[in-house]
Amino acid sequence: MQPWVTGPVELLEHGLMLLRLDNDSNRRLAMIAIDNAVELGIKTYLSLPKRVTGIAMSRKDFSEISESFPRLVEALEVHCIGKLDGIDLSEVEWYHRLRNQLYHQGNGLTVERNKVSAYSELARVLFMNLFAVKVELQRSGGQELLGAFLEAWISLEKTIAHLARQYRNDLTVTGGRMPAPRVVFEGLAALGVVSEKTARRIDYFRALRNRLVHGEINPASTLNEESIDEVRLLRDEIDSLAEKRL
């Protein structure tokens, strides 16, 4: 592990440890610790030398950006678009606002375990993308399932993006960049590149992913190994379409 990753990782591990204790107070503290880890992780990555990240940013610009979480997120979107597989930054901002409510209005407020668990998994994905570090700590069965599902979904998204690049002349590309994965896949479905059945199954799992990440449903009672395996099979199906195209 690179030395600059230690601080953010320790914060995230602390949040995961608090989440395991699972009571109202510790869930609030876990949410705050996880959000602090996300903010510090973003600041750390954006502040690294250009030779590490390829990002050219002056100290003055970084100082101004660091004063605002929304500006940090905007900078991440501008400079690190290739590092955001599986991450919807609007969800990160939503969880940050929830954290602010807990921090500033603290006493008496509770936060559902599902939401804290979902944010912790988003943070783990972000750390893997930015720093190639897999934060491992004993987690509940539901968290393990959610983590495995998100990993499978991210792999599926990457495979869809790979297929889409082969049809980029037929898809709407803005500013030389591919649109969001959902828009890309809708374009592929409209072109008849994927079957209607496959498109329906991917839409189903996308909706499931969103509800899980938003903390609306409990992964322990919603997910199982079969559903995760089906996402992996969809990835293999899309991958075979990409191979045939080569």
At residue 105 the predicted structure's pLDDT band, cuts being 50, 70 and 90, is low
DSSP codes of every residue in the chain? --GGGHHHHHHHHHHHHHHHH-SHHHHHHHHHHHHHHHHHHHHHHHHS-HHHH-----HHHHHHHHT-HHHHHHHHHHH-GGG-TT--HHHHHHHHHHHHHHHHH-TT----HHHHHHHHHHHHHHHHHHH---------HHHHHHHHHHHHHHHHHHHHHHHHHTTTTTS--BTTB---HHHHHHHHHHTTSS-HHHHHHHHHHHHHHHHHHTT-S-HHHH--HHHHHHHHHHHHHHHHHHHHH-
pLDDT of residue 125: 92
Average pLDDT over residues 73-82: 89
Is pLDDT at 236 greater than 70 in this prediction? yes
Average pLDDT over residues 42-69: 90
Is pLDDT at 108 greater than 70 in this prediction? no
pLDDT of residue 175: 53
Is pLDDT at 93 greater than 90 in this prediction? yes
pLDDT of residue 144: 86
pLDDT of residue 42: 95
Q: For 179-198, how does the pLDDT look when each residue is reduced to its tens digit (9 = 90+)? A: 667 777 787 788 888 888 99
pLDDT of residue 245: 65
pLDDT of residue 141: 77
Q: For 125-179, how does the pLDDT look when each residue is reduced to its tens digit (9 = 90+)? A: 999 999 999 887 777 778 889 889 999 999 998 888 888 888 776 665 555 555 6
Average pLDDT over residues 217-224: 90
* pTM (2 d.p.): 0.82
Is pLDDT at 23 greater than 60 in this prediction? yes
Domain ranges of the chain: 3-131, 141-245
d(CA 177, CA 193): 20
Pick the CATH number of 3-131 from 1.20.120, 2.10.25, 2.40.50, 3.30.1460: 1.20.120
